[in-house]
Structure 1
Amino acid sequence: MQVGIGLPNQVRNLTASIIPRWAARAEEAGFSTLATTGRFAYPGVSDTVALAAAAGATTTIGLLSAVLLAPTWPSALLAKEIAGIDGVSGGRLTLGVGVGSREDEFSVPGHGLHGRGARLASDLATYRDVWGGEPVGNGPNPAVPSRTRQVPMLFGGYSTATLNRMVRWGEGYIGGSLPPAMTAPSFAAAKRAWQQAGRRGAPKLVVLNYFALGDTETGQANIRDFYRLAPESIADNAVLCTTPTMIKQSIADYTDLGIDEIIFVPATDDLDEVTRLADIVT
């Protein structure tokens, strides 16, 4: 199983200039992927900015939004942003998509919480059209350069609609930072949906776990703050690994479940956390 690391873009009041340095150190340490966690109504750095910074600071490590709340964006604008980041990175980006559930995240007029699932179905088609070079804005020009690729997508969420999107548009499924006993049914459902849809091979399965190996108290406080308005089933069960034993046990548990990649998401913006985690897993 591959081991990736998150960027600290949604640590409350992070020092934003740490992001490119974090990305470079993570690549040097040998992690498989750098991932973002996306929210608007929170004092962090947006997925697109963090991923662009990481793309410019690295050359080989994979990039992933895990997950970006796509229906909060105008679809063509997001498609152009994602294509640009993927191009800057040399084709290393995977777009991880979720629908979101907090009303305060939906701040763009016409892109409210209501109807977000149906809107995303249309948005996904728009992404493909934009990346394929179709004209935009009722004019003759595409929004992206020629040779822009169709950016691969993963989907996160707990509904049947999420799995339907995954098998139609995506390459796999992202599970949240919850105990294996809670995420295992979602991964099993993703595999079944993939097979029932007649997709070849198997979906890529990615799981998230939070970690804080240095200042564990601050890490715990940050996670509680981040999930303060989340449903209790998620807020009360978010996994935070604070010791090497917990890190290794998570890797073992998800290896047994057949997960392809685990991404440890930082609960603080302490740059030394990259080295602490690498010393355990690489």
Structure 2
Amino acid sequence: MRIGIGMPNQVRNVRPSIIPAWAERAEDAGFAILGTVGRNAYPGVADTVALAAAAAVTSRTELISGVLLGATWPAPLLAKELAGIDGISGGRLTVGLGVGVREDDFLADGYGPRGRGARFDRDLEVFREVWRGEPVGGGPNAAVPEGTREVPMLFGGFAPAAMDRMARWGQGYIGGSLPASFVGPTFDAASDAWQRAGRDGTPRLVALVYFALGDGEAGKRNIYDYYLSSGEEMATQVAAGVCDSPAKLEEALSSFADIGATDIVFNSGTDDADDIKRLADVVL
């Protein structure tokens, strides 16, 4: 498995200035991936901003959003944002996308939760048109520079429509931030959808795991807080899965390898940058 680390962009009241410094330290430590966690109605730093900051200060590490709430954005604007980040990074962005489930994350007028799946399917067509340099806004101009590539996409979600979307448009699937025993069936569903769609090879399967080594209790509180809007049961379950010791990290690596994960991204429960080295010492 390729091993990555998430930036703490959605730790409550994160210090935004830590994001570029975190990205630099993570690349220097040898992580293959830098990830983000995405919500809009939460006091953090947006995926696009964190990814752009990381793109500007790194040169080797892949950048992945896990996952960005695509259906909350006007499609041409998001496509332009992603193309710019990818260009700044030198072609290192892989965008993980989902439609979103929390109603308060749908902040833009006209982009509410109702009908988001069908809207997002149309948006994916628009992404490709923008990235190909087709004119936007009814005028003669493209939104992106010549030479812009189509940004590789991964998809998250649990519904059959999400799996079909992944198989049609994506390079793979991003699992939920849950133990391998819960994620395994979704990896299987993603692989089945891939085969039904007649795709060659196998999909990329990305696992997400929370960790907090310097202050495990603070990490669990932060993750509980982040997921509380999804219900106390969900918040408790995800917080309980935070890896707060080397033994739990090693268990996560083993269990996700057993279910076929191609990549694993350890998302931080705190913005303690010393946790980068603590994690690297165990998993790299």
Q: Which TM-score band applies after superposition, normalised by the shorter structure?
A: over 0.9
Q: Who is 2:178 aligned against?
A: 178
- The alpha carbon displacement at 1:232 in A equals 5.1
Instruction: Give RMSD over aligned pairs.
Output: 0.8
| Alpha-carbon distance between aligned partners in 2 of 1:161 and 1:224, rounded to the nearest angstrom | 28
- AA at the equivalent of 1:187: F
| Alpha-carbon distance between aligned partners in 2 of 1:14 and 1:231, rounded to the nearest angstrom | 23
Q: Who is 1:141 aligned against?
A: 141
Residue aligned with 1:134, SS: coil
Residue aligned with 2:87, SS: helix
Alignment of 1:82 onto 2:82? yes
| Alpha-carbon distance between aligned partners in 2 of 1:255 and 1:6, rounded to the nearest angstrom | 19
Q: Who is 2:279 aligned against?
A: 277
Alignment of 1:35 onto 2:35? yes
Alignment of 1:48 onto 2:48? yes
Q: Who is 1:258 aligned against?
A: 260
Structure 2 length as normaliser, TM-score?
0.98
- The alpha carbon displacement at 1:235 in A equals 2.3
Equivalent pair of 2:87/2:148 in contact (CA under 8 Å): yes
Residue aligned with 2:230, SS: coil
Q: Who is 1:104 aligned against?
A: 104
Deviation string for 1:54-102 (max 9, x for gaps)?
A: 0001000000010000010010000000000000000000010011111
| Alpha-carbon distance between aligned partners in 1 of 2:98 and 2:76, rounded to the nearest angstrom | 17
- AA at the equivalent of 1:10: Q
| Alpha-carbon distance between aligned partners in 2 of 1:251 and 1:234, rounded to the nearest angstrom | 22
Q: How many positions carry a matched residue from both structures?
A: 282
Structure 1 length as normaliser, TM-score?
0.99
| Alpha-carbon distance between aligned partners in 1 of 2:204 and 2:193, rounded to the nearest angstrom | 13
Residue aligned with 1:229, SS: helix
Residue aligned with 1:241, SS: coil
| % identical aligned pairs | 58
| Alpha-carbon distance between aligned partners in 1 of 2:244 and 2:99, rounded to the nearest angstrom | 29
| Alpha-carbon distance between aligned partners in 1 of 2:2 and 2:274, rounded to the nearest angstrom | 21
Alignment of 1:235 onto 2:258? no
| Alpha-carbon distance between aligned partners in 1 of 2:225 and 2:195, rounded to the nearest angstrom | 39
- The alpha carbon displacement at 1:5 in A equals 0.3
Q: Who is 1:57 aligned against?
A: 57
| Alpha-carbon distance between aligned partners in 2 of 1:258 and 1:40, rounded to the nearest angstrom | 31
Equivalent pair of 2:250/2:283 in contact (CA under 8 Å): yes
- AA at the equivalent of 2:167: V
Alignment of 1:73 onto 2:68? no
Q: Return 5+ residue gaps in structure 1 as ranges.
A: none
| Alpha-carbon distance between aligned partners in 1 of 2:82 and 2:275, rounded to the nearest angstrom | 28
| Alpha-carbon distance between aligned partners in 1 of 2:64 and 2:53, rounded to the nearest angstrom | 13
Q: Who is 1:25 aligned against?
A: 25
- AA at the equivalent of 2:56: G
Alignment of 1:131 onto 2:124? no
Deviation string for 1:226-263 (max 9, x for gaps)?
A: 01111456323212100000001100111111110110
Equivalent pair of 2:24/2:57 in contact (CA under 8 Å): yes
| Alpha-carbon distance between aligned partners in 1 of 2:17 and 2:56, rounded to the nearest angstrom | 13
Q: Who is 2:162 aligned against?
A: 162
Alignment of 1:218 onto 2:218? yes
| Alpha-carbon distance between aligned partners in 1 of 2:141 and 2:275, rounded to the nearest angstrom | 45
| Alpha-carbon distance between aligned partners in 2 of 1:130 and 1:169, rounded to the nearest angstrom | 15
| Alpha-carbon distance between aligned partners in 2 of 1:274 and 1:260, rounded to the nearest angstrom | 21
Residue aligned with 1:278, SS: helix
| Alpha-carbon distance between aligned partners in 2 of 1:227 and 1:67, rounded to the nearest angstrom | 14
- AA at the equivalent of 2:122: S
Q: Identify if the C-alpha distance between structure 1 residues 14 and 96 changes in structure 2 by more than 3 Å, giving closer, same or farther.
A: same
Equivalent pair of 1:178/1:234 in contact (CA under 8 Å): no
Alignment of 1:10 onto 2:10? yes
- AA at the equivalent of 2:271: D
